[in-house]
Structure 1
Amino acid sequence: MWREAAWLMVLLLLFHQICAAKDDEEHLCPPSSCGKITNIKEPFRLQGDPENCGHKSYELGCENNVSVLYLLSAKYQVEAINYKNYTVRVVDPALQHHNCSSLPLHSLSRSNFSDTYSYHNNLYQAGLSAYDNWESLNFEHIVFLNCKHSVKENRKYVESGECVKWDSEGYAYAVSGDLKAEDFEVGCDVKLVAPTSLRSLNYDSYTAIHRGLAYGFEISWVNLACQKISCSMFSCYFDSKSQNLACSSDGGRRTGSDLEGEGGKKEIGEIEE
């Protein structure tokens, strides 16, 4: 009986130490704040935070009271961080909501990201799933084109009107979604590719297209989160239905609840809007 009591005492002591360590960590690394992003925490950090807080690779800047993320040698404003599905929504700083002539400074598409989760040096991914990545992208593309002639028979081509003029003698168009080979019109050149995660709009007008661009786009750090669970021969991904990290392979899938004995679901925090 005394042995059982001793073991119980040891377990209680360990539990107390773990809780105390967690409390100390949270006390030493309280969430940072910059502008409307008021809950910057693991894995993110703000420039100037203590070195032991957050990941240096996921460091955000704070410029003129605006949180900024440095991505692919460019700077983007942070619109929201979602700690439950491991995404961050950013927008090109050149885009202005009420200025239809404003365009992103840089082209950006899925080709700029690698969704091969086995490569841990990829800080951000375009999708949340290890398989069927094209269908599970966090964003869709807006393709800008300049055409030598008017394109009226192709409904995918939305004319920008007076908002965008690539060439004084040409016609400027925007196409939402992926531009397939059969969609290319003779005499048209791609000028810019930009992402948006605002999928609720019907992009049949340039006003709607520009609104989608100004909303921004989501990218994921699920690669980092997946390092915290053991999938063995399976591949880790985020299951949007169960809202859990899960393991997948050609032989089937296992959700976070199936992995509790192997590390289970590892959530980093709450939603920040």
Structure 2
Amino acid sequence: MWRERALIVLVFLLHLIHGENACPPSSCGKISNISYPFRLKGDQGCGRSIYELSCENNITLFSLVSGTFHVQAINYHNFTIRLVNPTLQQSNRSSLPCYFFSPSNFTTSYRSYLLYETPNHGSYLTIPWIYGSDHYTEPQHIVLLNCSHRVTGKRTYVDTGGCMNWEWKGYIYAMAGDLIAEDFEVGCHVKLVALTSWWGLDTNTYSYDMMHTALLYGFDLSWLSMICEDRCGPTYCYFNSFSQTLECEKEGRRYWWQPYNL
């Protein structure tokens, strides 16, 4: 009898220590490890409801704001999930995102916990900010513009090469990065703004093929804010890519955790 009681106590203690992390991982299509804080729809008692994924036709889906995105990857090492618009097609350069976002729709994980802000879209996913990373920056814009005339002398305006079969009159151009006032051409109108985290756009030479590849790659969002809140409370918290640790300062002391010990 004492062995049975000891086993019950042990299971209870493990549940207290690991919480929802104790659930076995689920899988769907290319996403082979769906673990805390995520869960598949129907896996009650595992993960968090705000990070619930669904599996349809062997494709992992995540609902964000007012749209449903394909999940391309989940990185539990740096706390990021990569999403892509479901209407984009690898072999169709004229395929475009059906949901339009920019980084301004999200709080950065750096600002969120340095300035004690709450992520502004209600699902505890933020723009990633990783200390010490040499190429991991916030997602970039890709902007499509419809112009009434041909634009010349501006390298940032990339001709889509007749890929677009929309019922737009005039000329269609794509632009990577921020659209600042000095780059804006009179007679052009913004038709689409999308996000990408593809680091290959960090170059001085753009092509529409490159931009479409970037859209197909998708964009990263982070659940670092939730982990920071769990471990550190409302204080300065970040992921250090040099030491591969989550770090925060609380009451004058520094704390850190390896991702696999979270």
Question: TM-score scaled to structure 1, two decimals?
Answer: 0.78
Residue aligned with 2:257, SS: coil
1:47 equivalent among 41, 60, 85: 41
CA shift, 1:162, in A, is 1.4
Matches of 2:73 and 2:138, distance apart in 1: 14
Shift in CA distance, 76/149, structure 1 to aligned 2, threshold 3 Å:
same
1:123-148 Cα shifts (integer Å, max 9, x gaps): 11013269xxxx97431110111111
Matches of 1:46 and 1:61, distance apart in 2: 5
Q: State the identity %.
A: 45
Matches of 1:166 and 1:157, distance apart in 2: 18
**Number of equivalenced pairs:** 240
State which drifts further: 166-175 or 218-227.
166-175
Residue matched to 1:183: 183
Matches of 1:32 and 1:123, distance apart in 2: 21
Residue matched to 2:248: 247
Residue matched to 2:14: 21
Matches of 1:220 and 1:198, distance apart in 2: 15
CA shift, 1:54, in A, is 0.4
Write the mapping of 1:70-81 to structure 2, written as runs, cut at 5 A.
Answer: 70-81=63-74
2:232 corresponds to which letter in structure 1?
S
2:38 corresponds to which letter in structure 1?
F
CA shift, 1:20, in A, is 7.1
Matches of 2:19 and 2:249, distance apart in 1: 33
Matches of 2:104 and 2:138, distance apart in 1: 13
1:23-65 Cα shifts (integer Å, max 9, x gaps): 997896210011110100000000111x211001100010111
CA contact (8 A) 1:165 1:171 kept: no
Residue matched to 1:265: 257
Residue matched to 1:222: 224
Residue matched to 1:174: 174
Residue matched to 2:127: 126
CA shift, 1:112, in A, is 1.2
Gaps of 5+ in 2: 1-5
1:103 to 2:96 alignment: yes
CA contact (8 A) 2:136 2:199 kept: no
Matches of 2:82 and 2:191, distance apart in 1: 24
CA contact (8 A) 1:42 1:268 kept: no
CA contact (8 A) 1:37 1:67 kept: yes
Residue aligned with 1:227, SS: helix
Question: TM-score scaled to structure 2, two decimals?
Answer: 0.81
1:148-192 Cα shifts (integer Å, max 9, x gaps): 111121001111121125554311011111111111011111111
Residue matched to 2:32: 38
Residue matched to 1:84: 77
Shift in CA distance, 27/87, structure 1 to aligned 2, threshold 3 Å:
closer
Matches of 2:45 and 2:145, distance apart in 1: 46
State which drifts further: 54-63 or 18-27.
18-27
Residue aligned with 1:200, SS: helix
CA contact (8 A) 1:83 1:269 kept: no
CA contact (8 A) 2:20 2:47 kept: no
1:57 to 2:59 alignment: no
Larger Rg belongs to: 1
2:174 corresponds to which letter in structure 1?
A
Question: How big is the alpha-carbon RMSD for the aligned residues of Structure 1 and Structure 2?
Answer: 3.1
CA contact (8 A) 2:21 2:47 kept: no
